[in-house]
Amino acid sequence: MNDSRVPPFEQLPWPSRPDLDGTPHAPAPPTFAGPGTAAPRPPAGPGYGRVRRSTVAGIAFVALLVGAAGGVGASLAVDSLQDTPVAQLPGAAAADIARPEGSVAQVAAQVLPSVVSIEATNNGVRTSTGSGFVIREDGYILTNAHVIESSDGSVLVLLSDGRVVDGDVVGSTSDYDLAVVKIDETGLTPLVLGDSDAMVVGDPVIAIGSPLGLDATVTTGIVSSLHRPVTAGGGSAAPAFIDAIQTDAAINPGNSGGPLLNAAGEVIGVNSAVAALPGAAVTGSAGSVGLGFAIPSNQARRTAEELIETGTATFPVIGVNLDRRNQGRGVTILQDDEVSGVVGVVPGGPGALAGLRPGDVILAIDGRTVARADELVVAVRSKAPGDEVVLTILAGRDTRDVTIVLVSNTEVNFGEEVPPPAEGD
């Protein structure tokens, strides 16, 4: 499937830590403003400017007398207080507070040792930061592709014990906005990748990361929605298409790549993007507005395994090009274009084998209604090559269900040219 490159959502401008310099694309964290420039001094005149020396001397003499008197008074006051019993406020005795299983405090204590901060470097210069988490005890860490995109293949990893170690990028894919980093450490505690398909709207979730460089920050919220079609990125790399989990847990610059966890402390998502208010991306003020998006853990698991094994990742396709100009019902397969040479249905692809034709309208995938091209793309990419899907197709006035076996994008040539017209046409 040939994908759109116009993202309706934007990734955060994930910045460097507050103590880092030389990050051209990242705004510094907010700081309290100091005193401004002093107002101009008024011109000398009656009541302003010079004071006669005798007056200054008199003021100093009076001040000394007052100071001496104040000193004596203060001494007497202290002496009298020493004979007065000091009031004691009641306080609780030191005791361990029971934190129930599944509480935010219990989950945070359990998972924080496995969450890290990542600093991308390029020729020794630190360029951006984000978060990540351990997925294997032998030093494999999962993060976002856009966190390490500006690196030269090397990163710095800040562990929970305060140590900073070197890391190497094993592989990344902008298609899913995921990357795997390897550090030379063993005996780490990996987080458990839970079943993101088991989540329902309203489930409590916990986000952990390094927003604005504040390491090990914990925020909470709920699952606000599921299967949110989100396209993010699109800078120097292809945009990611995410069948996202939406949450109102606070996610800010620096949370990128950190885990989104369920009440059992299992990772059910990888924080990736936020919806920005109009103009926020331009002004650099993008941040949490209660609309954060995470890559589902089931997708992250498959992609991470592929990156570790091969260094690259694939995605499934149905072998059709979509007409993004269509504003009607469903998603329309592109008509063959003899001028550009683009075909609607790739010869030999899954769609062609299932009998799809240019101009057919895809109404649903596995019973899930699709109204826009990006909805279909993210639904397909949430699967894996080899999976079967059922497409509901409208051809003319006839509706039918078609079963298609998805294949890897590496098996379909979307550059196929429009076949020449048959003889006599």
User: Token pair of 149, please?
Assistant: 């995109």
Residue owning tokens 């360029």: 127
Residues in contact with 362: Cβ distance below 8 Å, sequence separation at least 6, in sequence order: 330, 331, 332, 333, 370, 376, 391, 392, 393, 394
Q: Which one of 16, 114, 131, 146 is the catalytic residue?
A: 146
In this prediction, residue 82 carries a pLDDT of 52
Q: What are phi and psi of 392, to 5 degrees?
A: -95, 120
Q: Which one of 3, 177, 360, 374 is the catalytic residue?
A: 177
Per-residue pLDDT of the chain (425 residues; tens, 9 = 90+): 554 433 344 444 433 333 433 333 333 333 323 333 333 434 444 333 333 334 434 434 334 333 443 444 444 344 444 555 667 788 766 667 778 888 999 999 999 999 999 999 888 888 889 999 999 999 999 999 999 999 998 999 999 999 999 999 999 999 999 999 999 999 999 999 999 999 999 999 999 999 988 999 999 999 999 999 998 765 567 788 999 999 999 998 899 999 999 999 999 999 999 887 766 554 445 567 889 999 999 999 999 999 999 999 999 999 999 998 877 789 999 998 765 778 999 999 999 999 999 999 999 999 999 999 999 999 999 999 999 999 999 998 999 999 999 999 999 887 655 444 434 44
> Any catalytic annotation for residue 288?
no
In this prediction, residue 278 carries a pLDDT of 67
Tell me the helix, strand and coil percentages in the chain, rounded to 5.
20, 30, 50
Between strands 178-183 and 164-173, the pairing is antiparallel
> Any catalytic annotation for residue 196?
no
What distances in angstroms separate CA 294 from CA 117, 172, 225, one per listed residue? 18, 17, 11
User: Token pair of 102, please?
Assistant: 């599944």
CA 415 to CA 346: how far, in whole Å? 9
Q: Which one of 16, 256, 288, 297 is the catalytic residue?
A: 256
CA dihedral 271, 277, 280, 282 (to 10 degrees): 110
Contact 14, 26 (CB under 8 A): yes
In this prediction, residue 391 carries a pLDDT of 98
Q: Map out the domains of the chain with their CATH numbers.
A: 1-20+102-312 (2.40.10.120), 316-411 (2.30.42.10)
In this prediction, residue 84 carries a pLDDT of 56
User: Token pair of 8, please?
Assistant: 């309706």
> Any catalytic annotation for residue 146?
yes
In this prediction, residue 52 carries a pLDDT of 35
